[in-house]
Amino acid sequence: MNKGKLAIFLSIILLCIAVFTFQYTNIFGDKQLKQIVIQSGDYVVGRNMGEGIYDVIALNGQVKFMQMKMNEGDRWLAVRLRHGEHVYVEGDGKVRLQPSRFEKIEERGDGIYQIKHSGFYVVGRQIPEGEYIITYLTKNTEEKPFVQLLSSKRDVIHTYDFQNRKDKYYKVVCKKGQILEVYKNLFAESKHVLVILKKNE
């Protein structure tokens, strides 16, 4: 093998290694995310924070993280931030972004699961797959949840809009890998709303 062919061969090997490394870090990159605390400002994903899926926690004051209004202690779980996306924060408080933990929702008995925070919940990982009745409890009649069933790529499969519905119940079939997107109150986290999934057996 002459020097020219050897150089081409080595270049191909290095290119293959680079491609594999890039794909590997993209697939498993969320494990390398760092926790960050931010306040009012305009942030760019990939420059100010890594691309990935975060739990967003309001640490103090009142803030608007992107389109979500949050007060101290509020959480918005498993929010995906994509490279190049602008993240806008308004208000007088601070928020912490931490790599999402995808914590499992524990059954409270009789096939009932309570969703206490707005966010994105993975079926088969956080919620068992199956058929559910989805409903809610609220201390404020003006606040109602908005729920969507998404594919694993976060494409909308079905929308469950309690905002414009008198009935407080929907039937939803959740399959492994799908995502249940839950807003306890559209565009604002609420301490007054509890979303409930009950196994429909």
Tens digit of pLDDT for each residue in 3-44?
666 666 666 665 656 555 444 444 344 457 899 999 999 999
Question: What is the reported pLDDT for 71?
Answer: 95
Phi and psi at 12, nearest 5°, equal -65, -45
Q: Strand 193-199: give its sheet, edge to edge.
A: 112-115, 193-199, 130-138, 170-174
Question: What is the reported pLDDT for 107?
Answer: 93
Question: What is the reported pLDDT for 140?
Answer: 84
Q: Considering only the top CATH level, what class is 112-199?
A: mainly beta
Report the alpha-carbon distance of residue 27 to residue 186 in Å, rounded. Answer: 31
User: H or E segment at 11?
Assistant: helix 3-28
In 3D space, the residue among 51, 57, 66 whose CA is nearest the CA of residue 98 turns out to be: 57
Quick one: fold of 33-99?
Jelly Rolls (2.60.120)
Q: How many residues does the chain have?
A: 201
Question: What is the reported pLDDT for 175?
Answer: 97
Its pTM surpasses 0.75: yes
Q: Which two tokens stand for residue 173?
A: 């079939």
pLDDT beneath 50: ranges in the chain: 21-30
Report the alpha-carbon distance of residue 175 to residue 159 in Å, rounded. Answer: 15
**8 Å CB contact between 125 and 104:** yes
User: How is the chain split into domains, by residue range?
Assistant: 33-99, 112-199
Question: What is the reported pLDDT for 60?
Answer: 95
